[in-house]
Chain A
């Protein structure tokens, strides 16, 4: 009967449409560069070579991607239950409190791999707790989770500042940050991984947390598509009525899903705190939680898509920094504009070109079917 949203083949749904969105985003970005008085082709070259042209560039790209994978997974898990978790930024921030607690307590006494495990636990628990309050408010009081999670981002900034000044700051120090961790609080870099491909990581902070992110991506896939809990999460996300019919409790799933989402967000903190800075300081999340929304949208809430989209955004961050460095007319803000265009086309406008693609496919199908006598 009426099926205006006809099905596309998977390769078109998950490959062609994102690529079209990206190409358009880059074309418009090219115009922006052109108006700024620079050569867009040169900018494109700088971006790609900056992100992938050297071992260090790749290291930085993957370091950024690590943050985005955690954030994207956190957003995606909540998406599957029909929840829009905009609070990943704050949950990752608060997760840092747990990570720092593990590192500061045990960095002198335990080897890094045990501290790492404790940091995973601490980060996940703190992130999950920060998500629990909005989740509870949504489930039992009907406060909309979009609003509460946004608000909790702001509360997290204040909480972190208080923690830094009153708890983590060493006596006599002027900076709102903790002391630098000892060797137990440092997650090893992945120089060896890049070395396999003949690349030199040099100074980039690319570290073991990347592998943790890939593991998390795999576990999220198992959770969503191969577990009973994931089945219940998806049922609720697609149809609250069907969940009620099946005896799946909306409140329970809402809370559990947000705990998992917040926990994933909390893990993000390890990458920067133990993998790069080796101390906790302000604004170490630096917007990755929000990029996670775009990553989840672009990756269609599927772990593979999220990993790919994260690497793309890692490239935008790293390559964008190169452009800003090399092109005097392109400021750091211009790079934000380009990133924004990609988010706009790949995330918010993901269905913009879909109807035309569907039409083109239908026409092609009709042409091949006229000879054989219709569908």
Chain B
């Protein structure tokens, strides 16, 4: 049991002034599942990228199976028996499963021979690890959970003995995540070593044997999972005690401020993403929308905020129609009291190359208080940004710093400050804490509750079921573009999880 699969000695890596990994020592025992947990920016991804050969460490050694390895690039890592399943899959969408598995390991320029061999090998792997996949299915037609399985098979096909999984459950339903955990259990039973990177404490507790906690580029502790607790790990991650549950009082809902009626939205390819959805959000309540990513939540938010034209249906804001199927006018809706914290702050909520102060007016740059006659009053904008920085404790407190140089949590605070300080009537929030460190999550959750208590109507979309359950006063579950049920936040997680997976899957499971 004590044989080491991987040993990292004194790994050190800097990107310019950023010291991403500081003198890291890590021992991963063979045949175990080793968790690595830490906030965003703690250096987990950098460390794994060094192990997988994307980056070279400035200092330190990597030992694999007891011998020193010199990993210069990913193919070197593969040769050393390391496989990696990335957060964003590295699959060719319009290739079949078999073609993807073979890619880069074709053996010879003529494919025929390789294909037959690969098919046999794939079959063998599928049987051994109970991972059924149709080798001739196109990737783009497979659900995300299966795509992830293909990634794992790809690594095993290349003879991986050590498998690194980077945030593997972000895109999965609870049921799919359970299946993944069973697969990882199989792999462990066959003597493979798994490194499991996540920021979800519960997953660490559920499947790992040992866990290493990273904070600010250092490994601050390694624990046997059985001998630690969620509270201890959270404290190690943040460096102080963290409140994991959100304290909130009873909601006092009043009049309807946002009324969505029979809304149907198609995406740019013409696929129906939101299918005849109706609901109300009242002043002083938080309505949460739960669901696996890609079930129409994004399109719903875009349609309500005026970014995307709906095919049919209507959206009423504060009792007035917003012409959801007509001219798109996000700026006009903002003026009417609709604030929108978008799901994707990197591509929507912020312009990363702007100075912080420039982002603090995005969408509100027409406001007369930022300048007269088509010109911008830069001093007024910076003063306004400075005030928000202080109020939201955005760090570093410099309105002239490029937004890309702020951490995920602070970037999100820039967006929240901009949208919340407008005193909106309706606030729609997508993924409020995606890629945000634990310390900032606490702050953001508290602000959302404060906004509710101040009488705002809040629509909250998140793929983190825990977050929805702890914040929302009512939960709507979306699946395949439809609202498939409404539940109270006290409903057991399993029940909501089944709804998230869709009724059809539930029937299959019953058979």
Task: Report A's interface with B, CB cutoff 8 A.
Answer: 1-4, 6-7, 222, 225-232, 234-235, 238-239, 241-242, 244-248, 358, 361-362, 365-366, 374-375
Q: How far apart are A278's CB and chain B's nearest CB, in angstroms?
A: 37
B121 contacts chain A at the CB level, 8 A cutoff: no
Residues of A within 8 A of B41 (CB): 1
Given A227-B376, A238-B353, A246-B362, does the pair A2, B49 have CB atoms closer than 8 Å?
A: yes
Q: How far apart are B62's CB and chain A's nearest CB, in angstroms?
A: 19
Given A246-B331, A246-B363, A246-B365, does the pair A228, B374 have CB atoms closer than 8 Å?
A: yes
Distance of A327 Cα from B349 Cα, bound (Å):
59
Given A228-B366, A245-B349, A247-B363, does the pair A6, B15 have CB atoms closer than 8 Å?
A: yes
Distance of A2 Cα from B405 Cα, bound (Å):
11
Distance of A199 Cα from B200 Cα, bound (Å):
73
Chain B interface, number of residues (Cβ within 8 angstroms):
46
Instruction: Let me know if B363 and A245 touch, CB within 8 A.
Output: yes
B340 contacts chain A at the CB level, 8 A cutoff: yes
B248 contacts chain A at the CB level, 8 A cutoff: no
Smallest Cβ-Cβ distance to A358: which chain B residue: B16
Q: A7-B402, A358-B16 are in contact. List 4 more A-B contacts (CB 8 A).
A: A1-B40, A2-B15, A7-B17, A241-B344
Q: How far apart are A347's CB and chain B's nearest CB, in angstroms?
A: 20
Smallest Cβ-Cβ distance to A8: which chain B residue: B16
Q: How far apart are A95's CB and chain B's nearest CB, in angstroms?
A: 25
Instruction: Let me know if A1 and B358 touch, CB within 8 A.
Output: no
Instruction: Let me know if A245 and B16 touch, CB within 8 A.
Output: no
Instruction: Let me know if B46 and A2 touch, CB within 8 A.
Output: yes
- The 6 A-B pairs at the shortest CB distance, nearest first, are namely A6-B16, A247-B331, A247-B330, A241-B347, A246-B363, A245-B348
Instruction: Let me know if B18 and A235 touch, CB within 8 A.
Output: no
B440 contacts chain A at the CB level, 8 A cutoff: no
Smallest Cβ-Cβ distance to B350: which chain A residue: A242
Q: How far apart are A246's CB and chain B's nearest CB, in angstroms?
A: 4
B19 contacts chain A at the CB level, 8 A cutoff: yes
Instruction: Let me know if A238 and B354 touch, CB within 8 A.
Output: yes
B60 contacts chain A at the CB level, 8 A cutoff: no
B306 contacts chain A at the CB level, 8 A cutoff: yes
Secondary structure class of chain A's binding surface, majority of residues: helix
Task: Report B's interface with A, CB cutoff 8 A.
Answer: 14-20, 22, 40-41, 43, 45-46, 49, 305-307, 329-332, 334, 340, 342, 344, 347-354, 358, 361-363, 365-366, 371, 374-376, 378, 402, 405
Residues of B within 8 A of A6 (CB): 15-18
Smallest Cβ-Cβ distance to A245: which chain B residue: B348
Instruction: Let me know if B365 and A232 touch, CB within 8 A.
Output: yes
Q: How far apart are A291's CB and chain B's nearest CB, in angstroms?
A: 27
A–B pairs, 18, beta carbons within 8 Å: A1-B18, A1-B43, A1-B45, A2-B49, A6-B17, A222-B375, A225-B378, A227-B375, A228-B371, A230-B376, A231-B365, A239-B351, A245-B330, A245-B348, A246-B365, A247-B329, A362-B17, A375-B19
Residues of A within 8 A of B350 (CB): 242
Q: How far apart are A218's CB and chain B's nearest CB, in angstroms?
A: 14
Instruction: Let me know if B18 and A234 touch, CB within 8 A.
Output: no
Residues of B within 8 A of A231 (CB): 358, 361, 365, 376
Q: How far apart are B499's CB and chain A's nearest CB, in angstroms?
A: 30
Distance of A248 Cα from B16 Cα, bound (Å):
35
Distance of A358 Cα from B14 Cα, bound (Å):
12
Residues of B within 8 A of A3 (CB): 15-16, 18
Q: How far apart are B347's CB and chain A's nearest CB, in angstroms?
A: 4
**In-complex Cβ contact of B378 among A226, A232, A365 (8 A):** A226
Instruction: Let me know if A227 and B374 touch, CB within 8 A.
Output: yes
Residues of B within 8 A of A366 (CB): 14
Distance of A358 Cα from B49 Cα, bound (Å):
21
Residues of B within 8 A of A2 (CB): 15, 20, 45-46, 49
Q: How far apart are B23's CB and chain A's nearest CB, in angstroms?
A: 10
**In-complex Cβ contact of A361 among B16, B45, B362 (8 A):** B16
Distance of A244 Cα from B361 Cα, bound (Å):
15
Distance of A252 Cα from B375 Cα, bound (Å):
18
Q: How far apart are A60's CB and chain B's nearest CB, in angstroms?
A: 37
Instruction: Let me know if A1 and B351 touch, CB within 8 A.
Output: no
Distance of A39 Cα from B32 Cα, bound (Å):
71
Given A226-B378, A228-B366, A235-B351, does the pair A246, B17 have CB atoms closer than 8 Å?
A: no
Smallest Cβ-Cβ distance to A366: which chain B residue: B14
Distance of A239 Cα from B362 Cα, bound (Å):
12
Q: How far apart are A370's CB and chain B's nearest CB, in angstroms?
A: 12
Given A6-B17, A247-B306, does the pair A226, B330 have CB atoms closer than 8 Å?
A: no
Instruction: Let me know if A228 and B376 touch, CB within 8 A.
Output: yes
Residues of B within 8 A of A239 (CB): 347-348, 351-352
Residues of B within 8 A of A362 (CB): 14, 16-17
Distance of A365 Cα from B15 Cα, bound (Å):
12
Instruction: Let me know if B375 and A228 touch, CB within 8 A.
Output: yes
Smallest Cβ-Cβ distance to A3: which chain B residue: B15
Given A7-B402, A228-B376, A374-B19, does the pair A244, B307 have CB atoms closer than 8 Å?
A: yes
Residues of A within 8 A of B351 (CB): 234-235, 238-239, 242
Instruction: Let me know if A245 and B19 touch, CB within 8 A.
Output: no
Instruction: Let me know if A242 and B362 touch, CB within 8 A.
Output: yes
Residues of A within 8 A of B347 (CB): 239, 241-242
Residues of B within 8 A of A246 (CB): 330-331, 362-363, 365
Residues of B within 8 A of A365 (CB): 16-17
Instruction: Let me know if B352 and A238 touch, CB within 8 A.
Output: yes
Residues of A within 8 A of B358 (CB): 231
Instruction: Let me know if A7 and B16 touch, CB within 8 A.
Output: yes
Q: How far apart are B216's CB and chain A's nearest CB, in angstroms?
A: 11
Distance of A365 Cα from B307 Cα, bound (Å):
45
Residues of A within 8 A of B354 (CB): 234-235, 238
